[in-house]
């Protein structure tokens, strides 16, 4: 079996490390030639939750130079949501009619990207609450245990046997469970509700996830979540407010030392996924004339941090 991981950020490196321990041919596709060369020379190092270091070798290829590749049986797409349009032609080129394609992005926007694929019915959304931190181009730290759900998207179907057998083989080497989800759209909104709180708040405050468990953030979290639930309801997805709050706190507890992906992006002077998270909620709210003051505030403040980064970078 041939497996590709497109994107070598924190989640991409975490899963590449795991996959490389299986008896399959794994290829990591990187955005830069520099990271490709680093992986070829040093492999991937992953620090697990128990502190154990796993070091594995893996094939690598820069996204801009894939002429030597052939098609893959399973493709993990772990780039950011806003990067999806840039890799869909690549996914099309190196998949065959039976390829299983898994999208691992935060937020909403998958359906538009999937719509660019032709004759590729087996597409899935994978949602995870695991935490990971990329220390370098080859070094990742698993910072928080969580859960992972995978469901066919945009059409509700059953997993294909190839993916089912693959997950059964993968499950014993990871701590967190992987579950088949028949209502993945609702799961996407549930995770969106979690991300819409944790990502922008930790980014604005520049703190690890666990800091949001302090009582002074209780009211803010409840207000943000209430807005998300109201918007979700208007688009046909029922979210339970209390259950969502409980989930947000659970993720903060399980990933207490983790820096959210959005905060990592800001610290690395990269574009964030704010458009696909709070920005997506804002767009739905506008469409249905729903006031979402707290999401507007979070969106504005994170965009201000992005703009500040751009100004600082241009000065350098």
Model pLDDT for residues 52-62, shown as the tens digit of each residue: 999 999 999 99
Of 181, 213, 229, the residue at which a domain comes to its end is 181
**Shared domain check, 70 and 157:** yes
Local confidence band at 112 (pLDDT 50, 70, 90 cut-offs): confident
Model pLDDT for residues 268-311, shown as the tens digit of each residue: 999 999 999 999 999 999 999 999 999 999 999 999 999 988 88
Of 181, 204, 224, the residue at which a domain comes to its end is 181
Burial tier of 2 (Cβ tally within 10 Å: 0-12, 13-18, 19+): middle
Q: What is the CA radius of gyration of the chain?
A: 19
**Shared domain check, 200 and 86:** no
Rounded-to-integer distance, Cα 13 and Cα 6, Å: 10
Show the domain range for 295: 186-315
Rounded-to-integer distance, Cα 309 and Cα 303, Å: 10
**Shared domain check, 205 and 166:** no
Of 181, 201, 228, the residue at which a domain comes to its end is 181
pLDDT value at residue 116: 86
Strand order in 139-144's β-sheet?
53-56, 44-47, 139-144, 131-134
**Shared domain check, 116 and 249:** no
**Shared domain check, 206 and 303:** yes
Local confidence band at 143 (pLDDT 50, 70, 90 cut-offs): confident
pLDDT value at residue 92: 92
Total structural domains in the chain?
Answer: 2
Residues annotated as catalytic (active site), given as ranges = 191
The pTM score is 0.89
pLDDT value at residue 314: 62
**Shared domain check, 246 and 97:** no
CATH code for position 217: 1.10.1040.10
CATH code for position 92: 3.40.50.720
**Shared domain check, 75 and 211:** no
**Shared domain check, 99 and 217:** no
Least confident of 23-37, 203-217, 257-271: 257-271
């Amino acid at each position: 079996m041939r497996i590709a991981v497109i994107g070598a950020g924190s989640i991409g490196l975490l899963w590449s490390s795991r996959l490389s321990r299986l008896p399959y041919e794994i290829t990591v596709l990187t955005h830069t030639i520099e990271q490709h060369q680093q992986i070829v020379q040093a492999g991937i190092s992953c620090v697990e939750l128990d502190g154990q270091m796993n070091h594995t070798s893996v094939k690598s290829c820069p996204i801009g130079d894939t002429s030597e590749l052939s098609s893959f049986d399973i493709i993990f797409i772990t780039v950011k949501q806003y990067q999806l349009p840039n890799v869909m032609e690549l996914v099309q080129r190196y998949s065959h009619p039976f390829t299983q394609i898994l999208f691992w992005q935060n937020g909403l926007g998958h359906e538009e990207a999937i719509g660019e694929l032709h004759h590729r019915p087996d597409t899935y959304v994978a949602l995870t609450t695991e935490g990971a931190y990329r220390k370098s181009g080859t070094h990742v730290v698993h910072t928080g245990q969580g859960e992972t759900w995978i469901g066919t998207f945009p059409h509700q179907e059953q997993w294909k046997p190839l993916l089912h057998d693959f997950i059964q083989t993968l499950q014993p080497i990871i701590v967190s469970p992987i579950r088949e989800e028949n209502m993945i759209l609702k799961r996407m909104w549930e995770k969106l509700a979690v991300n819409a709180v944790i990502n922008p708040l930790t980014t604005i405050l520049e703190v690890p996830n666990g800091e949001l468990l302090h009582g002074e953030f209780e009211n803010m979290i409840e207000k943000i979540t209430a807005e998300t639930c109201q918007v979700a309801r208007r688009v046909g997805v029922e979210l339970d407010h209390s259950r969502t709050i409980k989930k947000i706190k659970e993720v903060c507890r399980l990933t207490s030392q983790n820096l959210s992906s959005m905060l990592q992006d800001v610290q690395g002077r990269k574009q964030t996924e704010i458009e696909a998270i709070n920005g997506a909620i804002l767009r739905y709210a506008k469409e249905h004339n729903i006031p979402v003051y707290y999401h507007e505030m979070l969106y504005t403040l994170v965009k201000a941090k992005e703009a500040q980064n751009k100004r600082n970078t241009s000065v350098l």
